[in-house]
Structure 1
Amino acid sequence: MHPNPAYRGGDRALQETLIDQIGMGMVFMQTPDGPRVAHTPLLSTGDGAVQFHLARGNALSRYLAGENALIVVNGPDAYVSARWYEDRNTVPTWNFVALELEGPIRKMAAEGTLAMLETLSQRHEGRVEGGRPWTMDELTDERKRRLMSGIAGFEMEVRAWRDTVKLSQDDSASDRTRVAKGLEANGSVAVAELMRTLVPDQ
């Protein structure tokens, strides 16, 4: 994560929100076959653990259980043009929000994996506009059996939460206002909104 302590929020509520709202992360681990990464939906249990599932054929699936791994959640990001600063004797930069989670991994039982999938689908179906929400009850027993036989569920006991919230905190309030307006005008609405809500005096 970024070494500047000004960008480390340490706000657990924000960290949980990133996991919930972004919903997708990358799991990294050094394996006997070399470094590997897997992209997967994430579910925070709310008590210090994060659950996810992978295809059994994924390059990480056979190595994760009992090992330490790293999960990265990438939030909104955007290029910041130096033209938006009052003093142009500066350089462009990048504003972003990201979260690293580190800890040991255990393999979940089939019942826990199914419960995780049901919770994930219920949560995200609730955010889809229009129509009747889909549920796993619509799967036939055979389709569900084949689904479950092809995946493995895992849970990380998160022992390190490291976030980076780099939103021009080290700039003046007037420069932050100009940057937020510039980002918004160029389509980076999410980063501009985070600058206004997460950075004081915006």
Structure 2
Amino acid sequence: MRQNPSFVLGDTAELRRLIEENPWVTLVSSTPEGLVASHYAVLLDDTREDLTIVGHVGKPDDLIHRLGERELLVVVQGPHGYISPGWYGDVASVPTWNFISAHLSGVPELLTADENLAVLDRLVAHFESGMAQPRMMWERPNDAGYIHRLEKGTVGFRLTPTRVVAKRKLSQNRPDEVVETIIGELDAGSGAYADPRLAGEMRRDLDARRSSR
């Protein structure tokens, strides 16, 4: 990802928030057979305060990626959306795309069966917590035999990134009044490009920049 000093995202707390709020990631590996990509949910390692993530892949994706043998790229994609030049006012301009994204790279550590079970349990609990009647992994009608068979079909991993490239492009190069207009258009709730999540990220960023002046 091409970096621009104006859009660098380097704050660990903000990167952790990005991962927490956007757990569906893309895993990319370079193998002798060519590039391969898979898509899985990950969580931050709850024993660490850095950007270490845990997750799993279904077999045979572990073999396809040669998981644990070489570098893995994890792409975290936050809110993103189209920005119309009409929102800039009467100035020469072209369309662009605002977004937040992070690339985490490193060689993953493979988890033991027990560690993998714990991660699978956490994943289910994390996402089921938003349900009116959560159904956890170890609850009936699941039984222990079913859960252990499920685990054997997956390979868990922990990745502590050795390289992080992250970018937050939210119209920081535009005057505050233009950013306010863009936020209003995205937050309008109607139109082809309305996106309240992206509007919220732009508002958060604008408020932070204003408070630091």
TM-score, reference length from structure 1: 0.92
* Aligned mates of 1:107, 1:60 — CA distance in 2: 12
Q: How far did residue 61 of structure 1 move?
A: 4.8
Q: Is the alpha carbon distance of 1:41 and 1:176 closer, same or farther for their aligned partners in structure 2, counting shifts above 3 Å?
A: same
Alignment of 1:74-153 (within 5 A): 74-128=77-131, 130-131=132-133, 133-138=134-139, 139-153=142-156
* Aligned mates of 2:65, 2:196 — CA distance in 1: 40
* Aligned mates of 2:164, 2:65 — CA distance in 1: 25
Look up the SS of the partner of 1:136 in the other structure: coil
The equivalent residue for 2:19 is 19
Judge conservation of contact 1:121–1:135 (CA < 8 Å) in 2: yes
Q: Is the alpha carbon distance of 1:56 and 1:82 closer, same or farther for their aligned partners in structure 2, counting shifts above 3 Å?
A: same
Is residue 9 of structure 1 aligned with residue 13 of structure 2?
no
Look up the SS of the partner of 1:91 in the other structure: coil
Alignment of 1:43-82 (within 5 A): 43-45=43-45, 46-48=48-50, 49-58=52-61, 60-61=63-64, 63-82=66-85
Is residue 189 of structure 1 aligned with residue 181 of structure 2?
no
Give the letter aligned to residue 162 of structure 1.
Answer: V
Judge conservation of contact 1:36–1:60 (CA < 8 Å) in 2: no
Query: Which runs of no fewer than 5 residues in structure 1 stay unpaired?
Result: none
Judge conservation of contact 1:103–1:158 (CA < 8 Å) in 2: yes
CA RMSD in angstroms comes to 1.7
Between the aligned residues of both structures, percent identity stands at 28
Is residue 167 of structure 1 aligned with residue 174 of structure 2?
no
Q: C-alpha deviations, 1:14-37, integer Å up to 9, x for none?
A: 111111111111111101211001
Structure 1 residue ranges, 4+ long, deviating more than 4 angstroms after superposition: 59-62
* Aligned mates of 1:141, 1:117 — CA distance in 2: 13
Query: Which runs of no fewer than 5 residues in structure 2 stay unpaired?
Result: none
Q: How far did residue 175 of structure 1 move?
A: 0.7
Q: Which moved more, 1:162-171 or 1:185-194?
A: 185-194
Q: C-alpha deviations, 1:67-111, integer Å up to 9, x for none?
A: 111100111111000001123311110000111101111211101
Aligned length: 200
* Aligned mates of 1:34, 1:64 — CA distance in 2: 15
